[in-house]
Amino acid sequence: EIVLTQSPGTLSLSPGERATLSCRASQSVSSSYLAWYQQKPGQAPRLLTYGASRATGIPDRFSGSGSGTDFTLTIRRLEPEDFVVYYCQQYVTSPGTFGQGTKVEIK
Amino acid sequence: EIQLLESGGGLVRPGGSLRLSCAASGFTFDTYAMSWVRQAPGKGLEWVSGISGPGGTTYYADSVKGRFTISRETSKSTLYLQMNSLRAEDTAVYYCACGYPRFDYWGQGALVTVSA
């Protein structure tokens, strides 16, 4: 089973700043099979990106990148609604696995 | 608009059974693989089970294999999860999701609590 480790656990930033979230895999993952999800309090997760593509309706300030074992979710300019939790997921092998999450909080 | 609406959650004793349903709308149900993903209170996400579009192939996490059964009823655009031999560690919000192994759309979730 591929283990995904997200860092940092909590990221403290101000609105308008750039956020860089990391997801490291225990073995190589094709970038086409790495997704990022956003979860707001009390809500279901929402698909943000898969590979280098954005899901339907996702603003272009969100972008996914990376290869091999190191992947990044970048939020170009943080909006107030972006201060929530983010999960990465790999689905190149079964079972697909999630990282433990990164919380982005207001500094 | 794609909508997924779970029902059937609740409180059940250890060893008991429960069936979750997920009513889907806004897309051609029988062409999409579907999944169940759960989240224990205050914890992260865990994929539980998936089923192919036509329903011929099912997939299970090791933690639920042999206890849970996923199925779908195309005529009702409904996904099911039959959960037997429930344990305390199965306590979680169970989300229905469109897609497998990637989850493109999610329902609002159903809370399952396993407790004596």
Measure B80 CA to nearest chain A CA, in Å: 18
- Mean pLDDT over A6-18 rounds to 97
Give, in degrees to the nearest 5, the angle at Cα B105 between B63 and B55. 60
Query: Which residues are CB-neighbours of B97 under 8 A, at least 6 positions away?
Result: B4, B34, B35, B36, B37, B103, B104, B105, B106, B107
**Contact (CB<8Å) A44/B107:** yes
* pLDDT at B46 > cutoff 90: yes
* pLDDT at B56 > cutoff 90: no
Joined tokens for residue B61: 């996490």
Mutation to test the B interface, candidates A23, A90, A91, A102, most B Cβ within 10 Å: A91
The beta-strand segments (E) located in B1-116 are 3-7, 10-12, 18-25, 34-39, 45-51, 58-60, 68-73, 78-83, 92-98, 105-106, 110-114
Task: State what percent of residues in chain B have pLDDT above 70.
Answer: 99
Give B44's contacts in chain A (Cβ within 8 Å). 87, 98-101
- Mean pLDDT over B49-77 rounds to 93
User: Chain A contact for B62, CB < 8 A?
Assistant: yes
* pLDDT for the residue A95: 80
Model confidence at A89, pLDDT cuts 50, 70, 90, reads very high
- Mean pLDDT over A60-86 rounds to 97
